[in-house]
Each structure stands twice: as structure tokens, then as C-alpha cells.
Amino acid sequence: MPVMPGKTALLELLKQEGVRVMFGNPGTTELPLMDALAGEQVMRYVLALQEAPAMAMADGYAQASGQLACVNLHVAPGLGNAMGMLYDAQKAGAPILVTAGQHEQRFNFTEPLLWADLPTIARPFVKWSAEVRQLSDLPRAIHRAAKTALAPPMGPVFLSLPGDILLASEELDLGAPSRVARNMRGDAGAVAQAAAILAKAQSPVIIAGDAVPQGDALAELVALAEALGAPVYDEGMASRAMFPSSHPLYRGALVRLPAAIRGMLAQHDLLVSVGGDLFTLSLPGEVESLPEGMPVVHLDTDPWELAKNYPEQVSILGEPKVTLPELTTAVLAARSAQEATKAATRLEHARAEGVASLKKLHAMAEAAAARHPIHPLALMQAIGRVLPAEAVVIDETISSGTGLRRFLKSDDAQSFFGLRGGGIGWGLPAAIGAQVALPDRPVVALIGDGSALYTIQGLWTAAREKLRMVFVIINNSSYRILKQRTNAMKAIAAQTDTYVGMDLDNPKVDFLKVARGFGLAAHRASTLADVQDQLKQALRHDGPTLIDVEVDRSWKPV
């Protein structure tokens, strides 16, 4: 076995696991790693200016590539800075190896500056968390971490790397990667039981979750939806393209309020969840989201999500890619000729309803097109009309993105990524990670102004890496969603029309100066024509571009 320093072994182990890009922000405890990178020819180091955007970049890269991402942070404050974005990555099931430099072990008992028990800090938000205590364990630790992150259900893992481990040298057997096979078929008996229920349903509805795009199972879900004649909704926090947006059975994302969910479900007699979470809510309600007695059939890769909040008639642990075709075949075989005829009629009606609802949404957007400042719905329509089919959209519009996915040509598993965890500031740096992962596709980030300011320094990384991408700032100079929800309380703020800490206009942020200061091309759009012209130009620009769009600030119900 060769004698090898830990810092070199770390890079070789990461390359064994398929890692070719490392995101990070270095500090003193990372200096051995940075020294090793100075002689590295394969690994690309993408520098972020703070750990939160570094974490979100790795998240965007992991989701867009479907491969293991790696991010390196700096001791306790660096890990602390990244925790909000690590929460988002956990909720999205992003396979990320999160590493942090740690002080040399020989004086950690004295609790030196910046030291803390790093694995304990990370543990609530990762699948596995540990510290490497001796160099001989490093290969086992890296291989275990990679295997765990990529095993279903995927998610981030954490390793603390003390400086003495990276500086030490000894004979090392680097071992080899292992993978848990992903194509886990659902139990045959459960599939048959579910098929019998689905065959007799009179008005089924499907909720799709991120297990569908993670397993590249959009086509398989389309086949089931068409066999059932069922409309398809995204789960409430839609992090991916769960279903082709151009398909007439697609209805968009669920509203994250119990009464709204219940009202939709009340129109149906069976809920089929394919990786969909039941239910992540924004606010509590007076009623349960699921109507009493409504049967549920649920397929998921995560046993925790099965029957988590509600009883289910059938719960199937399996991958949608391989289980859905078996379920669809079983449904077709189980139903009678009369049931098949009814399903065909349902499909025809559901298609017509989808076409009509999209036409109505377009009409609403067109009716708002003449408003000034720009109405958000009209903006989403204008963007959808300009973007090419191969565009990748990163969505953190928060309160301004109504209708977005229905307006987009978003038909493949890598075409759309949204904020799954809800911790804002994710979208701008996640778009950078997605562009690094998908260099041949145009990436467009649609980001609220409040969200952008959480991680605005990510723009510098986009310029440094010379990424051809576009950041569209949806600028209402406020935390609009907080005003909406505070007003809905009908208490002091609503009675006095006073909303503390929710306006961003004194002083108003000049996003053009900020972006240009970070090295981007930047433009301001005040009309829909400006938006479309500037977006077309930005898609041709050889580098990153920011477009600041002032939108209607109104937020009270009319």
C-alpha cells in the first residue's frame, strides 16, 4: 500500500466517488486541503464568499446532476452559517457530502477558538454525521458517507475533518465505492391491492412528489395518470418538475392551506400519492387537509413518509420508475370493460378541464398585462413565452410565482427546481450550482428581492466562474408574503395598516449597482416588453446577467 498524506487521500477518495466539483469557503482549518488542491488537475474548486451560498450551490448541483455533491465549510461558525441552507437540502433530499475543517485533535480538549462538537451540530439535518479520528478511517468514512447520501431516500451527510488527519501520512488502502441499488420494486401483493382499489375509483386524483423526478419517472407517472384519467398536482413545496407542465392533466402545485387542500380533495373519491408529501402546510387550519374517510394509496421511497399523518389503505415502499409500470399494468388488468370505459371518459373530461383552466389562466395574465408596475401573473406569462424548452428554471419567487410552472415549457426532470425547505436565500446560489451541473442548458433564476438579499454575494461566484445564466429579481421592495399573512390575522397591523420590518425601500436597494459591483451585466425592466427583450439578450450574453423587474407591490385581497 502506498504512503499517502491525508489531504491527498481525501481528494483521491472523492474522485473515486465521482466528485469533480467542490464548493466551499476556506479558513485556517481547511489550509491542508487548499494546499492539496494547488496541485490538483481534476477537482474544480468553486469559491463562495460565505458558507450559506456555498451550501446552496452544492444543493443546486446535487439536484441538477443527480450525483454526489461536496461542500467544504470552516469549523463551527462556517457550519452555523450553512445550517439554514442545509435544512433546505435535507428537505429536498439532495445527496451532498458536507465536510468541515476541525482543529487538530491534540488541543481540542482545551476548546480553542472556533471549535465546537461539529457532528452534533449537523446531526439534526443529515442522514449521518461523524468525525474522522484517525487517518486509517478516512477511506471507510468517505465511502460510507457517499453510499449513505446516495441511498434512497437520498440526503446530505456530514464529516468533520481534523487538521491533523489531513496533515498525517501513512500507508492507506483507499478501498472502493459501494452503492445501494435504487430500483427497488414495491411489494407485489401491495401493488395488486392498490390496483384493485384504483380500478374501481370513480374520481381519483394524484399528488406527485420529488421521488418522481429523482428517479426520472415522469413518463411512468404520465402513463398511470392517463390510465386513471386523473388530474395531477405537485406536492405543496414543489422542489422539482414532478409532471410535464405541458400535459393537460397537470394542475400545478397544491396550496399549502388545509381548507384549500380539503376543498380540492373533496371533489375526488381516492387520493393517490406518488412520492408526494401529505401534507406540508404553511399555517394551521380549522379543518384537516384530508376529508374524513378518504382512501389513500401511497407509493414512496421513504418509509417515514408512508402513513406519516393519515391512515392509508395501501402503503408501498418502492421506486416510482420500476413500480409505477407494474401498478399501471395491474390496474388495466383488474378493471372491467365498464370501468375501462368510465376511465376513458374521465381522461377525456380531465384533459378538457386542463386545457380550459390553462386558457383561463392565460386570459387572467393577459388582462393584467397593461398594469404598471408589472403584475406578477403577467410577468410569469411573459417569461414563460420567452424561455426555450431546454431552459432550467430555479424558482424562489415566494409570493409572486402564481401560475409559473403552468406557463413554462417544463417537461423534463431537470427543467425546474424550487425551494423545498422554505428557508429563503436558497434560489440565487442554487441556480449557480445547477448551471455548473448543466453547463449546456440555459439556467434562469427567478428570485424575490427579499430572498436575493440573503445570499446576494453568490453573484460574485457566477461572475468568477463566467457562467452563462440569468438572475431575474422580482422586486416589490418588501417581504410581501409576510404582509399578506400578517393582514390575515386581522389584528393590530391590519387595523392600523402598520407592518413592522416588512418594507425594503428606505433606502431602496439598487440591484443594478450591486450586480455590476460583483462583475455582472445588469439591466432594469419596467415593462413586459423590456423583460422579454432583456431576457432574450441575456440568454445570448457570454456571462451572467441580472435583470431587476419592479412589480406591483399591492398585496391586500381585493
| CATH number of the domain enclosing 322 | 3.40.50.1220
**Does the residue 355 lie in any domain?**
no
Do 341 and 375 fall into the same domain? no
Structural domain including 327 reads: 188-349
Do 163 and 193 fall into the same domain? no
Nearest to 286 by CA among 263, 253, 312: 263
d(CA 314, CA 367): 45
pLDDT of residue 236: 87
Q: Cis peptide leading into 243, omega within 30 of 0?
A: no
**Does the residue 207 lie in any domain?**
yes
Do 279 and 372 fall into the same domain? no
Classify strands 3-5 and 169-171 as parallel, antiparallel or unpaired. Answer: antiparallel
Do 31 and 99 fall into the same domain? yes
Do 517 and 376 fall into the same domain? yes
Identify the CATH number of the domain in which residue 537 sits.
3.40.50.970
Question: Which residues are CB-contacts of 114 (< 8 A; sequence separation ≥ 6)?
Answer: 27, 29, 74, 75, 76, 77, 103
SS3 content of the chain, % helix, strand, coil (to 5): 45, 20, 40
Report the C-alpha dihedral over residues 414, 419, 421, 425, rounded to 10 degrees. Answer: 130
**Does the residue 557 lie in any domain?**
no
Nearest to 71 by CA among 119, 28, 23: 23
d(CA 510, CA 548): 9
d(CA 165, CA 159): 12
CB 320 within 8 A of CB 275: yes
Do 462 and 433 fall into the same domain? yes
Do 383 and 255 fall into the same domain? no
SS3 252: strand
For 244-264, b where at least 16 C-beta lie within 10 A, e where not — what string? Answer: bbebbbbbbbbebbbeebbeb
The upper half-sphere exposure of residue 519, i.e. CA atoms within 13 Å in the direction of its Cβ, equals: 14
**Does the residue 7 lie in any domain?**
yes
Do 150 and 216 fall into the same domain? no
**One-letter amino acid of 507:** P
For 108-132, b where at least 16 C-beta lie within 10 A, e where not — what string? Answer: beeeeebbbebbebbeebbbbbbbb
CB 527 within 8 A of CB 379: no
**Does the residue 85 lie in any domain?**
yes
**Does the residue 119 lie in any domain?**
yes
d(CA 542, CA 467): 8
pLDDT tens over the chain, length 558 residues: 789 999 999 999 999 999 999 999 999 999 999 999 999 999 999 999 999 999 999 999 999 999 999 999 999 999 999 999 999 999 999 999 999 999 898 988 899 888 899 999 999 999 999 999 999 999 999 999 999 999 999 999 999 999 999 999 999 999 999 999 989 999 999 999 999 999 999 999 999 999 999 999 999 999 999 999 999 999 988 789 999 999 999 999 888 889 999 999 999 999 999 999 998 888 788 899 999 999 999 999 999 999 999 999 999 999 999 999 999 999 999 999 999 999 999 999 999 999 999 999 999 999 999 999 999 999 999 999 999 999 999 999 988 888 999 999 899 999 999 999 999 999 999 999 999 999 999 999 999 999 999 999 999 999 999 999 999 999 998 888 888 888 888 899 889 989 898 888 989 999 999 999 999 999 999 999 999 999 999 999 999 999 999 999 887 765
Could you tell me the end-to-end alpha-carbon distance of the chain, in angstroms, rounded to an integer? 73
pTM here? 0.96
CB 454 within 8 A of CB 419: no
**Does the residue 178 lie in any domain?**
no
Do 277 and 216 fall into the same domain? yes
d(CA 416, CA 418): 7
* Domain final position from 295, 319, 349: 349
Output the CA–CA distances (angstroms, integers) from residue 467 to 21, 43, 142, 433, 441, in the order listed: 15, 18, 30, 10, 11
Do 158 and 194 fall into the same domain? no
Do 278 and 340 fall into the same domain? yes
pLDDT of residue 558: 57
Q: Domain total for the chain?
A: 3
**Does the residue 457 lie in any domain?**
yes
d(CA 498, CA 295): 45
* Domain final position from 349, 384, 414: 349
CB 414 within 8 A of CB 64: yes
Do 237 and 160 fall into the same domain? no
* Domain final position from 145, 171, 197: 171
